[in-house]
Structure 1
Amino acid sequence: MKRRPLSCFLIVRDEADRIEDCIKELAGWVDQLIILDSGSTDGTVEICQKYTDEVHQTDWPGYGPQRNRALKLCKHEWVLNLDADEKVTPELRDEIDALLSQEKLDVNFVKIPWHTYLFGKPMRRGRYSTPQGKLFLNHEGVHFKHSQVHEALQIPDVKPLVLKSPLLHFSWRTYQHMQEKHLKYACILAEEKQQKGKKGSLGFAVMRFFTDFIQQYILRGGFLDGKRGFFMALVLAQYAFHKYAALAALQMEQACQQDNEK
């Protein structure tokens, strides 16, 4: 049986230093390659235009809404959702081809092993090694969670499958980029929590630092990745602390404003 047609989309901004490594593996393989760019000024758009005619420039409404925009542009039922810092290996491509060539395919959500690189080597344990739901059947009711970050895919009546071949993930350019990215996400999440009426405190933020470190380093086996595992556990502990410290800061600011208005 011929492989089922496959659409692929990426949402990007200022990824000129690494996006070509991603999309050159996709062009000529996927049946539709969609790029949604939200204001790049570094040549990202021009690089993408060498590989696909479907390069769209938009504003930035947040991760969830942007992915839903891209999903509406997909022509085919099967969709691959990637980021510019990810790379499909030949082995993964072959495995996806074999899967989508099966005559009877009783799955709608395919998770792919994630090999996240930290300072030159992949981590094998912990949060950033968890298989990611990147390939799915776009049927009625499928959408990304309408959130600014951590926009989980929502699939009614999910029927999952986990592949064997990995997707390579190069999330952080440098240590500074890693810290900036996590701090940015933490502050966005804090704002979302405040809008939903959730409360935070510095005490809870400190507690989360320690519990998230233990979860990543001990419970998820981060210690098996040696120095990189210890490093990643500390970074994720900081991330948890910043989420709730930022929420506490927003609450203190709000309380001061209310007092001044009295």
Structure 2
Amino acid sequence: MKKHTLSAIIITKNEEDRIERCLQSLTGVVDEIIILDSGSTDATVTICEKYTNNIEHTDWPGFGKQKQRALAKAKGDWVLSIDADEALDDEMKDSILELLHSNAIDKTAFKLPWGVTLYGKTLKYGRSARSVLRLFQRNGASYTPDEVHETVIPAEGKVGELNGYLLHFTHRDYGHGLDKSAQYAWLGAQKYHRKGRRSGGLFLALVRAMWTFFHIYILRLGFMDGSVGFIMAMTYAQVNFNKYVGLWLLENGRS
């Protein structure tokens, strides 16, 4: 029998085309699923109701604050933060279940290898070759209030890493990828402006973009992912450029 309980927290809005894949991957792994929906107008909530009755309709205060709201509702010993466009692969399910059956866990949080999957390919290099902290003890954990790229602050202790992949189906199609990148760049610019960070000017924005491409495509071996690796390196470079241009415009009152 499981020695530890697990809550999954998910924030949603108009995710009818991919939320079920996420929820199906949690079946048999988690003890409760908590959904915070910020105004879906499609079938997202109806699909979620097949898996949980713990659904709350909310406004949209930003990613960090919304995930903190979801975390506050969790009752499990451990919490899995998963996005609607993500899913656990079979090996990751087994890793989590093995952990929950352990008598004692000597870590307070775990990173999950991220399997970014788009345009028919799961990327293994570049910026995608990283692990994200998504599984953590509920007690003592909290989220930063950032508008985007929020961070979970786990309870003090050691952080481990599990086997398997947290699959991330990040883009529905190329157009959706462009829209998402633009949104994240602007939110990032606003976050930096709120925190008093300076842009350094437009030329430095260009240099940052060039460095981002070099770092992802060359230093982190993004070229090993073929044509999709090239597309992603260029996408991240463009996002970084747009973010610092947005910050420069905010600094100069031209937004």
Is the shorter-chain TM-score for this pair beyond 0.5, marking a shared fold?
A: yes
Give the conservation status (yes or no) of the 8 Å contact 1:3–1:98.
no
What is the distance in 2 between the residues matched to 1:95 and 1:198? Answer: 40
Paired position in structure 1 for 2:26? 26
User: 1:24 is paired with a residue of what secondary structure?
Assistant: helix
Give the conservation status (yes or no) of the 8 Å contact 1:111–1:133.
yes
Unpaired segments ≥5 residues, structure 2: none
Q: Deviations over 1:158-213 (max 9, x none)?
A: 31111111111101011111111111111111112222332222111101110101
CA RMSD of aligned residues (A): 1.4
Give the conservation status (yes or no) of the 8 Å contact 1:9–1:34.
yes
Paired position in structure 1 for 2:224? 224
Q: Which moved more, 1:25-34 or 1:234-243?
A: 25-34
Paired position in structure 2 for 1:161? 160
Paired position in structure 2 for 1:145? 144
Q: How does 1:235-254 map to 2 (within 5 A)?
A: 235-253=235-253
What is the distance in 2 between the residues matched to 1:215 and 1:187? Answer: 22
TM-score, with structure 2 as normaliser: 0.95
CA change 1:29–1:96 in 2 (3 A) is closer
Give the conservation status (yes or no) of the 8 Å contact 2:29–2:97.
no
Paired position in structure 2 for 1:191? 190
State the 1:133 CA deviation. Answer: 1.0
State the 1:248 CA deviation. Answer: 1.4
* 1:205 has 2:224 as partner: no
Give the conservation status (yes or no) of the 8 Å contact 2:137–2:155.
no
What is the distance in 2 between the residues matched to 1:158 and 1:252? Answer: 43
Size of the aligned set, in residue pairs, is: 254
CA change 1:51–1:156 in 2 (3 A) is closer
What is the distance in 1 between the residues matched to 2:3 and 2:121? Answer: 33
What is the distance in 2 between the residues matched to 1:148 and 1:44? Answer: 23
What is the distance in 1 between the residues matched to 2:198 and 2:2? Answer: 53
What is the distance in 1 between the residues matched to 2:105 and 2:13? Answer: 35
State the 1:254 CA deviation. Answer: 5.0
% identical aligned pairs: 42
State the 1:253 CA deviation. Answer: 2.8
Unpaired segments ≥5 residues, structure 1: 256-262
State the 1:19 CA deviation. Answer: 0.5
Q: Which amino acid counterpart does residue 149 of structure 1 have in structure 2?
A: V
Q: Deviations over 1:120-169 (max 9, x none)?
A: 111101212311111111122x1111100000111242311111111111
Give the conservation status (yes or no) of the 8 Å contact 1:35–1:55.
yes
User: 1:113 is paired with a residue of what secondary structure?
Assistant: strand
Larger radius of gyration: 1
